[in-house]
Amino acid sequence: MANRVNSDLVRKAIEQIDRERMVKMTMDLTNIPSPTGYEGDMARAVNDLLKGAGFDSVLQPIGDERYNAVGRLQGKGGGKSLMFNGHLDTSFGPEQAHRGIGYKCEGTLVDNEWIYGMGSFNMKSAMATYITASEAIRKAGIKLGGDVVIAGVAGEIEKSPVNDYEGRQYQGYGVGTKYAITHGAVADYCILGEPTNMMLISQHCGTTWIKITVPGHLIHTAWSEVDRNAINKSRVILDAIHEWIPDYCRRHTVADFQPRVNVSAIEGGWPWRGARTPDNCVIYLDVRTVPNVLPVQAFNEVRDMVNAAVRKNPQLEGTKCEIFLSAPGTSIPEESELIQQITTAHANQLGKAPERGIETWYSDAAHMNRYGIPTVNYGSAGRIRTGGGGFSTHQGEHVHIGDMVDIVRVYIEVMMNICGVVE
């Protein structure tokens, strides 16, 4: 591990944390609508913030008026570089069915302790913590040896084009980060401030999205047959899927963690033409894979399961499986300097080592790691105001300001130790 910076110097930087500015940044960014595909205004706002914080920042056009905002604070030399990466797009969009202050693009302050609003949780508050930590170090007059990079990226949310669903609003799963990495946003290490509730996540699942098409018989109700109706036939496949899921999860258990499988959508027929049977019924699956399992392995399992069901039920002949999105999981070695530095800084600042875990969700850490930039997920959001961790569907997105301050303290120490301090 690198030499540790004097604790008095770390404390000097921490004393410069500007809580009110951090809160205002979070609320201002939350006020900017930025669903996947429409991140332009958010990117411009982050670019301005980065320039104001002393970064050499640029807008990277990735197409269709979509941009990354990538800033680099040049070090004085001699230290390693550290990136903070965060997505600009928000989790919810046209499919949003929930309501309330946690789902509005309006930053709302509650009791001067919590910030509510779309993106405050995932993950505009993280962008504010990155900038706040960097500004505190600069205000303290501390010069870093290595570079600090902050990358605000478009298109991270788990979305994919399929069938007639085309266009920028469906282009997620890391399109911005993959562009950023290949166009200058590189560093020795990277922290993703995803909403982990202060847990240090060094590994997370991959995902395989599979489309299963069950053929049917398009005909008028007057001549229809129940056994040839694609929707009715698909019940056999659905039963097979739900019998397979527990066994799949059990066989891929890591310690006490199990991946998950979700039947995410079903398509069949035309609601406006009730006098016709559908020509097919399509079932969509999201199969999560632990880090050492590749998407093709998950696909093969599903296809074998479907084929077995077809062999037992000849009326299903012609059913087919296709992958339409694949994203492998990721992990980094426990001995990584990044993990050690965060663990030590967290203990120094908060009195104990961070909790550890594996996450089911997917993040851009997978892309960073595959380009040789060791990356972890470690962010302050993820505590629920009424108690517990995770995400509250009822309350919507919100983040605790005190938790944000806490993680800024940790980020400051990690930055100073990884990048080094120049006297």
- The CA–CA distances, whole Å, from 161 to 37, 96, 171, 175, 324 equal 12, 18, 6, 12, 8
Burial class (CB in 10 A: 0-12, 13-18, 19+), 357: middle
Neighbours of 394 (CB within 10 A): 9
Look up residue 269 and give its two tokens.
């027929």
Residue 108: strand pairing partners: 116
The pLDDT assigned to 1 comes to: 43
Contact 27, 49 (CB under 8 A): no
Q: For the chain, 423 residues long, give each residue's pLDDT as a single digit of tens.
A: 446 888 999 999 999 999 999 999 999 999 999 999 999 999 999 999 999 999 999 999 999 999 999 999 999 998 999 999 999 999 876 556 567 899 999 999 999 999 999 999 999 999 999 999 999 999 999 999 999 999 999 999 999 999 999 999 999 999 999 999 999 999 999 999 999 999 999 999 999 999 999 999 999 999 999 999 999 999 999 999 999 999 999 999 999 999 999 999 999 999 999 999 999 999 999 999 999 999 999 999 999 999 999 999 999 999 999 999 999 999 999 999 999 999 999 999 999 999 999 999 999 999 999 999 999 999 999 999 999 999 998 899 999 999 999 999 999 999 999 999 997
The H or E element spanning position 210 is: strand 206-215
DSSP secondary structure string, 330-354?
Answer: EE--TT-HHHHHHHHHHHHHHSSPP
Q: Within a 10 A sphere around the Cβ of 113, how many other Cβ atoms?
A: 10
Q: What pTM does this model have?
A: 0.95
Q: What's the confidence (pLDDT) of residue 100?
A: 85
In this prediction, residue 94 carries a pLDDT of 57
Contact 198, 403 (CB under 8 A): yes
SS3 sequence of 234-266? HHHHHHHHHHHHHHHHHHCCECCECCCEEEEEE
Q: What's the token pair of residue 2? A: 């690198």
Which domains occur in the chain, in start order? 7-204+330-422 (3.40.630.10), 206-327 (3.30.70.360)
Residue with tokens 């930025």: 34
Cβ atoms 270, 276 nearer than 8 A: yes
In sequence order, what are the beta bridge partners of 59? 69
